[in-house]
Amino acid sequence: MRLVRLRAPGGLGNLDLVEEDPPQPGPGEVLVRIRACALNLRDDFAVHGKTPFADGRVPLSDGAGEVIAVGGDVDAFKPGDSVVSVFYPWWLDGDMTPSTRRDIPGESFDGFASEYVCMPAHAFTRAPAGYTHVEAATLTCTGVTAWRGLVVCGKVKPGDTVLVLGTGSVSLFALQFAKAAGARVIATSSDERKLERLKRLGADTVINYNSVPDWGQKVRDLTDGRGVDHVIEVGGPATLAQSIKACRTGGHIALIGVLTGFAAEVSIPALFSNQIRISGISIGSRADQEDMIRAIEAIRLKPVVDRHFPLQDIATAFAHYESQKHFGKVCLEV
């Protein structure tokens, strides 16, 4: 089988395509023929050695394909089933604990940039009916993150107003989930072409944050001074203050991203005096993913895919991802 191994110290030039024997499933395991993978920011960090990794690690946390064989004691899947990976294989349900967040594919153990993988059955869920493998591969990280931030923790409801920042895949999924829930969506970008695409995807109002630096106040103006019910906060230090300004009294901020850094000054009085609730979102549980997939099938949501590359062009795929010219997921076909 073909697979990619990342050699120390990392970098796109150290992604090696190699041939190895395929694994065989043991008790409780499934053998999956991976057909597609998706790229995420944390994969980019890992590939460039910004997070620790073992020499020779197989990268990528998101994979989809079909079950080829099952080991003993596996009754959740059968050969031929279409499946998609789970980000935290040991976080099955409920709240995250230190023990359930201990293993992440592509970081603490080999990921999905491989034609075949053998993992415990609970490392997968079924894929949505009617999805291609490329579409299914988009769900593991960004889809579940948007779902947990907006639906599980945010409890979005019809009539709410949701602010999504930028055009990353978490924001695009959140936009789609919000519209399906009957919410109004305000979206931001610095690219006029992307703003037009956001409107075509369903955004009710868009703001160019380069033209309107005080976009938090603009959001309040657009909501008659009330502010939004939910903010999908993916920017981090450079955007958090504006997100707080945009949020209504008693509103909710799903704190997800670190696109602008890892530390920020926060106005504590602005939070407690307005009773703003902040939820730290780190993907979600296997049960969250299963709930999301049932919803996706009910509302017939389709993910936004920018481009997909063959496995051997994984370095080119990462270069395209890093260019920030994409709109939607960058994927690999395996």
Q: What is the pLDDT along the chain (334 residues), one digit of tens a residue?
A: 999 999 999 999 999 999 999 999 999 999 999 999 999 999 999 999 999 899 999 999 999 999 999 999 999 999 999 999 999 999 999 999 999 988 899 999 999 999 999 999 999 999 999 999 999 999 999 999 999 999 999 999 999 999 999 999 999 999 999 999 999 999 999 999 999 999 999 999 999 999 999 999 999 999 999 999 999 999 888 899 999 999 999 999 999 977 667 777 787 888 888 899 999 999 999 999 999 999 999 999 999 999 999 999 999 999 999 999 999 999 999 9
Give 45: exposed, middle or buried? Use CB within 10 Å, 0-12, 13-18, 19+. middle
Strand partners, 5: 16
Specify the pLDDT at position 259: 67
Contact 259, 236 (CB under 8 A): yes
pTM for this model (two decimals): 0.96
For the record, the structure tokens of 134 come out as 């490329």
User: How much is the pLDDT for 23?
Assistant: 95
DSSP per-residue letters across 181-245: TT-EEEEEES-HHHHHHHHHHT-SEEEETTT-S-HHHHHHHHTTTS-EEEEEE-S-TTTHHHHHH
Q: How far is CA 275 from CA 268, 272, 278, in A?
A: 10, 5, 10
Strands 228-233 and 205-208: unpaired
pLDDT at 260: 67
Report the 10 Å Cβ neighbour count for 225: 9
Model pLDDT, residue 268: 85
Q: Using CA atoms, how far apart are residues 22 and 153, in angstroms rounded to an integer?
A: 40
Cα 299 to Cα 133: distance, rounded to the nearest angstrom: 19
